[in-house]
Amino acid sequence: MVWIMVVTIRHWVPIITFCPHNNLPDFIYISLIYKDKFRELYSIRKRIRSLISGRKLFMEDIAKEVSSEFTGADSVEVRLLFNRHIVKIQRGNDV
């Protein structure tokens, strides 16, 4: 039997971004998932907040930007406050 360690990093307080269409605030949560890797939690949460907080972006663009910033993550998930909209990017096998 082979065990795989899965580490999910989330922040506790929602990050406030703004919708590009109507300029209303979006309260989002971002999750990074690492498989068989360990990362320091505090520094990653701090980098996510400084990278995204207060910006005018769609959730899909946020997911792309976070996945390009944290290239070691196997999955990036962006959710609205009450899970009404979820965007998830997963690393796939190179073809």
Indicate the pTM of the whole model: 0.84
Chain-centre distance for alpha carbon 17: 13
pLDDT score of 95 more than 50: no
Q: What residue spans define the domains of the chain?
A: 6-46+59-90
The per-residue pLDDT for range 33-87, each reduced to its tens digit, is 998 887 778 888 889 999 999 999 999 999 999 999 998 899 999 999 888 899 9
Identify which of 79, 94, 84 has the alpha carbon closest to the alpha carbon of residue 8: 79
pLDDT at 52: 93
The mean pLDDT of 19-44, rounded to a whole number, is 88
pLDDT at 93: 67
Distance between CA 77 and CA 79 in Å, rounded?
A: 7
